[in-house]
Structure 1
Amino acid sequence: MSVFASPRFLPNVMWADAASCAATGALQVAFTDALARLTGLPAPLLMGTGVFLLVYAAMAAFMASRATPPRMLIGLVVVGNFGWAVACISLLVSGIFPVTAVGVAWVLAQAVCVIVLAELQWTGLRRSRGGARPAASLTPAGRW
């Protein structure tokens, strides 16, 4: 059995998403001022996104803990993760803030992480999709 076909694949990816967001959010909330100095990002941005990440981590953990993952919510998570990556890149490209090399690494690490998670979540959603009709239900002419 492929790891992607495992019924635990999608919940495990959601647990990974929850853990990464909890860790990043906790760092940004606990060390806002230090991170602001190191990254060149404004403290209010770090605090705001840190709090958001902690709330999101709790919601992702809730989704991961369900016996049947909520497909529609996880679909929204996929879109949100790709959106987060676009926002990260936009922030760097815009030049609005005097982002340091550490700041570029911090933001790019988040972008790469959410792109990987979004792709794994999308793969998990596609692989766990139910309702495919078996070949035996084809008509004699080979059509549905």
Structure 2
Amino acid sequence: MSPILTSPRFLSRVMALDAASCLLTGAIQCAATAPLSALTGLPSALLGYSGLFLLVYAAAAAWMASRAVSPRVLIALVAIGNLGWALGCLVLLAGGRLQPTALGAAWLGLQAVVVLALAAAQWAGLRATSPRCRPVMQA
């Protein structure tokens, strides 16, 4: 087992990274909804509302990152939510209802890749620090 994954700070660092990525994405989507919509071919309502969600989520993720003890159940829910977000991005890309530009497809694809990586790191950290996964010391 990697000592990085078993570090007591690993999950909080992953959550801080998750918060930072959501803050940046949400801020871009909220501050530049109309221009981003024109560049990506994505509906401005989708960008604006998902941007607001990301800003609220970023605050929650930052709170989780700041805890002395990682809130494992909440982080597990976040990992599941990240999988759902990635799936949603892929459905938007493949569903045919939207006609994103190349930049729009890249925007959705990048979000899918980033949140899948975050979900994988969150699951790995949860598994590595689970009391059931720790080796028992023999006397």
TM-score (norm 2): 0.94
Q: Separation in 2 of the partners of 1:133 and 1:74?
A: 23
The corresponding residue for 1:105 is 106
Q: Separation in 2 of the partners of 1:19 and 1:75?
A: 18
> Which is greater in Rg?
1
Deviation per CA, 1:85-140: give whole Å up to 9, x if none.
00000001011112000000000000000000000000110111125572549xxx
2:132 corresponds to 1:124: no
Q: Which runs of 5+ in 1 are unaligned?
A: 138-144
2:44 corresponds to 1:43: yes
Name the SS for the 1:21 alignment partner: helix
The corresponding residue for 2:83 is 82
2:9 corresponds to 1:8: yes
The corresponding residue for 2:23 is 22
Letter in 2 for 1:134: V
The corresponding residue for 2:62 is 61
Identical-pair percentage: 53
Q: Decide which of 111, 114, 136 is 1:134's aligned counterpart.
A: 136
Name the SS for the 1:13 alignment partner: helix
Letter in 2 for 1:34: P
Name the SS for the 1:11 alignment partner: helix
Shift of 1:58: 0.3
Q: Separation in 2 of the partners of 1:97 and 1:21?
A: 23
Superposition CA RMSD, Å? 1.5
Q: Separation in 2 of the partners of 1:3 and 1:16?
A: 15
Shift of 1:78: 0.6
Q: Separation in 1 of the partners of 2:94 and 2:135?
A: 46
Structure 1's consecutive aligned runs of 4 or more residues displaced over 4 angstroms after TM superposition are none
2:53 corresponds to 1:31: no
